[in-house]
Structure 1
């Protein structure tokens, strides 16, 4: 059987909350989509990567708790204080989905490169493992985007992995600095054009091409943002397919 097409699920979608605490999580429909994209809707193998929050053990536990009692075979890869698996490449190649949590994309990229994880993830992607994530876990696959990694005033990040050779905007409707800064960075050439997502919206890439936009709630959208011939930014709304 041929390997699945290289696939990335880049989102502004996190876990659902069960309401009994900040990390009492439930897997939302975006995870069913990820498993379907991997061709493993039953008993999929999912590895959670929480580098962007310093491998916070409470968040790691929240991921295991979210899938407890399901058929999902969960593992995690932490890099602090040392990798939790003996062979990063072998472990990630054995997964169906790698899910990257949100947090500091700048720190994530730096730590990944120290461990050679940037090259490993590119190989894993080419092998057909679905790469997905939220916020920092969306930005990282692209050339760059806007980030609060450096403080409350957003700044550009331009050294993403570049598996998707465009830019990415996350939390487009919920953080007021996101849209104007993204427009400015595309207009002045700091970032190439790309796609942005409201909270609750995800982008499905097959290879390097956008294949579909999805959402886990109503009233949200994705946006194509590009520099026009006159240098002005052109933003085009893309209506998503509703999950569930």
Structure 2
């Protein structure tokens, strides 16, 4: 998804929209893409780190209630420099305002 956005310059459209006050939202990959760093499935057996849009500092792991994903993410986090790390189980969401977390909500 991010590669396509970067190739088509849609990433810049999203960043500009955010800078102009447009509310951005997303689920799963659409939630972690706003962060500096993403860590998600490379394939059925492996996970990988990749660069996000960088609107929010740190990294987010969606579907943290999945045991395999949780373990892989936790092991990856240990190798990272001090950073903002967020996790979301299914049916949870984060609300940021001006790049600051103001609420974690369970729906």
- TM score, norm. by length of structure 1: 0.42
Q: Kindly indicate whether the alpha-carbon contact (under 8 Å) linking 1:146 and 1:181 is maintained by their aligned counterparts in 2.
A: no
Larger Rg over CA atoms:
1
Q: How does 1:163-202 map to 2 (within 5 A)?
A: 163-173=55-65, 175-189=66-80, 192-202=83-93
Q: Which runs of 5+ in 1 are unaligned?
A: 1-107, 217-244
> 1:213–1:169: structure 2 CA closer, same or farther, 3 Å change rule?
same
Instruction: Give the number of the structure whose residues are more often helix, by fraction.
Output: 2
The CA distance in 1 between the partners of 2:45 and 2:38, in whole Å, is 14
Cα deviation for residue 192 of structure 1 reads 3.4
Aligned to 2:105: 214
Secondary structure, counterpart of 1:119 in structure 2:
helix
The CA distance in 1 between the partners of 2:9 and 2:100, in whole Å, is 26
Q: How does 1:10-29 map to 2 (within 5 A)?
A: none
Q: Which runs of 5+ in 2 are unaligned?
A: none
Secondary structure, counterpart of 2:12 in structure 1:
helix
The CA distance in 2 between the partners of 1:165 and 1:154, in whole Å, is 24
CA RMSD of aligned residues (A): 1.6
Q: How does 1:22-41 map to 2 (within 5 A)?
A: none
Post-superposition Cα deviations, 1:183-202, rounded to whole Å, max 9, x if no partner, equal 12111117834110010000
> Number of matched residues?
107
Runs of 4+ in 1 over 3 A off after TM superposition: 190-193
Aligned to 1:121: 14
